[in-house]
Amino acid sequence: METLIVNYNSREKRLAYIKDNRVENIVFDRPEHQSLVGNIYFGTVTKVLPGMNAVFIDIGEEKNAYLHRDVLPSYLQSADKQKNVSSFVHQGEKMLVQVDKDATGTKGARVTGIVEISGPNLIYMPKGRYVAVSKKIADDKQQATLRRIGSHLKTDEEGMIFRTSSLSSTEEEIHTELANLREQYQQLLQKTTGLKKPGIVFQKDTFVEMILDKVGKMSDGEVIVDDLSLKKLAEKQNNRVKHSYYSGKENIFSVHKIEHEIDKALKRMVWLDQGAYLIFDETEALTIIDVNTGKFSGKTDYQETVLKTNQLAAKEVVRQLRLRDIGGIVLIDFIDMKREKDKQAIYALIESELAKDQKRTKIIGFTPLGILQLTRKKTKVTLSEALEVKCPVCEGTGRILSPETVGFRLERELLEHRYSEFEAVLVETTAEVKEQLLGPNEAHREALEDLLHLKLFFSIQPSDRHYYVIKQFGTKNEIASKGLDDK
């Protein structure tokens, strides 16, 4: 049973895909975080990097885009593959590019010079130079037929990818669609002639496309939306499922308890059945997932307990990758398995679960330390990146300096001022740091002041972060006149 719930009637648009009463996917679309993937830009090359075999392109966004030599528009099929990017592109050159990965962290968007324009049955590439067929079309004869049609219809410079829907279309319908896509491309080129600076020439509504794509693939179940116009579009896309319009006052996600699932997907710890749990640590470079038995002791021998825990974890890990939209390198630290057959069983289970994932994934395998490596295509920010910001206290590390550490730092800095011409010093800090410096009940105060030849005064400030600031040196009367007590 499949259910698609769409919250579309506010500025932040959201969808949740539920299968067998479990939330499998949550997607957010915000004005400030809208995906640029699929957008086409007219850009200017700002920097050529021969060492990286790539160029940076100003596309009119906040950060310059990155384009590698392998996806340059007219040179993909160059006879000399050894030539560097600097042989083809120069600084200041104008170029039509398409975003295939959103900007993340400090990195700008990644773009390709092989522009794609999608139709119902075809993906048209004006500079693609090849014919491909969707991997979902497994029949060799059907693949060969479509390749023959494509090779017959396209020019030498053009390329196209046949979608699964093309199987139910005639050659004449495909020809008509190709003509329409060619016309769209010419309109894009014409639009670039009026641009004096880099900017967008085509913008995809990727969120609506995603909704309609998911609706089209549903075999049964229900689509629930809070927007009538979107409901009508969904009905046209797939009439095999039930379509419902929600008009209640309470938000549609709250009614269906999706808000609770979002909160769970942001937590570092994920509980499994039987008391086992996962720990997620996301960084910009990779994601590490640690599997723990927790309270799960099992009813058989230890290795069977380990296998069952890892099996539970494998299924939940893949679900969480979809739910959190984690991409890039993923390392899964399963509980150590002594038996090779158990490792193979987990590998096969991960492989079968990832086969349900729409994003491209690749399993690298187990390391000698028993960590499973895999990659998942990353096209946009993760759920945590979209909904959260770095903590201003710990700056995203999850840890801050202890009061002991800050107290010892303060002591070392004060020691640099011993035997100075001043009588007293005023320090602004937290109560915890002051206690660490002076000891319980200020037991070390007298000894420290004798060592420093300074009277210590404190201005105590509440703070989530332990810190200190040496505010002023002076005479005892000067510091005391500020109304601060040395106790």
- Residues 409-430: pLDDT tens digits? 999 999 999 988 999 999 999 9
Of residues 138 and 149, the one with the higher pLDDT is 149
Spans of all domains in the chain: 2-34+212-260, 40-202, 267-387, 403-480
How much is the pLDDT for 271?
A: 92
pLDDT at residue 77 is higher than 50: no
* Per-residue model confidence as pLDDT tens digits over 282-333: 988 899 999 998 766 655 678 888 999 999 999 999 999 999 999 999 999 9
How much is the pLDDT for 316?
A: 95
Q: Which of 143-147, 234-238, 243-247, 298-302 has the lowest mean pLDDT?
A: 298-302
pLDDT at residue 79 is higher than 70: no
40-202 domain in CATH 2.30.30.280? no
What is the percent of the chain with per-residue pLDDT over 70, rounded to a whole number?
95
pTM exceeds 0.85 for this model: no
Over the chain, what HEC string results?
A: CEEEEEECCCCCEEEEEEECCEEEEEEEECHHHCCCCCCEEEEEEEEEECCCCEEEEECCCCCCEEEEHHHCCCCCCCCCCCCCHHHCCCCCCEEEEEEEECCECCECCEEECCCCEECCCEEEECCCCCEEECCCCCCHHHHHHHHHHHHHHCCCCCEEEECHHHHHCCHHHHHHHHHHHHHHHHHHHHHHCCCCCCEEEECCCHHHHHHHHHHHHCCCCEEEECCHHHHHHHHHHCCCCEEEECCCCCCHHHHCCHHHHHHHHCCCEEECHHHCEEEEEECCCEEEEEEECCCCCCCCCHHHHHHHHHHHHHHHHHHHHHHHCCCEEEEEECCCCCCHHHHHHHHHHHHHHHCCCCCCEEEEEECCCCEEEEEECCCCCCHHHHHCCCCCCCCCCCCCCCHHHHHHHHHHHHHCCCCCCCCEEEEEECHHHHHHHHCHHHCCHHHHHHHHCCEEEEEECCCCCCCEEEEEEECHHHHHCCCCCCC
* Per-residue model confidence as pLDDT tens digits over 15-53: 999 998 899 999 988 877 677 888 999 999 999 998 888
Residue 215 CA to residue 15 CA, distance in Å, equals 11
How much is the pLDDT for 476?
A: 92
Average pLDDT over residues 340-348: 95
For the domain made up of 2-34+212-260, the CATH class stated in words is alpha beta
How much is the pLDDT for 179?
A: 94
Handedness of CA 29, 35, 37, 43 (dihedral sign): positive
Q: Write phi, then psi, for 439 (nearest 5 degrees).
A: 85, 170
**What CATH topology corresponds to 267-387?**
Translation Initiation Factor IF3 (3.30.110)
**What CATH topology corresponds to 403-480?**
Hypothetical Protein Ychn; Chain: A, (3.40.1260)
User: Hey, what amino acid is at 424?
Assistant: A
How much is the pLDDT for 76?
A: 47
Identical fold at 2-34+212-260 and 267-387? no
